[in-house]
Every structure is written in C-alpha cells, then in structure tokens.
Amino acid sequence: MNGRVITREMRRQLERDNAKQPVRLAQVPIGDFPRNDSTLFAAYRSRDFLVQLFNECGAVRVSVNRTAVNSAGGWVEGITWDELMEIKRQLGMGDQYAIEVLPQDKEIVNVANMRHFFVLPEPLQYGWFRK
C-alpha cells in the first residue's frame, strides 16, 4: 500500500471495512475513486477484491487485487484462475475472451500483488476450443 507502514490496528480496521462490503462486485462511483490514470473508466469493489477497468489499445485491461493486506503492508497474494473467471463474469464479460500477459523481462513492473487481464474486442483465433 504505497510503502506505508501498516499497523495491526489498521489491518483490523480494513478487515472491519471489508466485512461491510458486498460479497459480489459493486461499482464504485467514479467520483469516489482517485483517478491518477486517464485510461481508468470504472472501478468495482467487493469484500475480497478491488477491480479497476482501463481502456488500453482497443481492449479493456482489468486490474485486480485483494482488499486485505499482509503484515508488510502489501496486498495479500494468491488470486486464483477461478476467482479471475468469476470476476470477469461479475463484470458482465463472461462471454468475451480475455488474456493474461506475461511480459518480457525488460517490461516487468511489479509494484503490487495484482493480476491483470485484457478483455479482447474480438474472439481469439487460437486457444482451447470445445469441439
């Protein structure tokens, strides 16, 4: 959380605040969300996840992090594939293809425990397809 020291009481307060959030994602009013990136167009929150949507290169980048922090003050790790699929469904994008990209070493930006996937504007021409 931006290099801040997170005390035990701050973590407990965050846990109490998270418990008040809905189980399913709910849209955060854009006025209530800090917009330090002009491509950000929506944000969603549940008791477990914060999800941000960005317009990028004709696709929608979905950035996901847990809402809990660890003792070092970073977002708790461990977002599963099943959780990413459910988040995509809750965003109303369950019928669209999305990809998670692993960048070249020189392009790595790893400043937080977040996962990113891109919802594509057109169907994939390659991948796994049921026959």
- Six token digits for residue 74: 């970073």
Q: Which residue has the tokens 């019928």?
A: 95
Condensed to tens digits (0 to 9), the pLDDT of residues 40-60 reads: 999 999 999 999 999 998 999
Residue 34 vs residue 96, higher pLDDT:
96
Handedness of CA 12, 17, 21, 27 (dihedral sign): negative
Residue 2 has pLDDT above 60, yes or no: no
pLDDT at 1: 45
Condensed to tens digits (0 to 9), the pLDDT of residues 96-113 reads: 999 998 889 999 888 888
pTM (2 decimals)?
A: 0.85
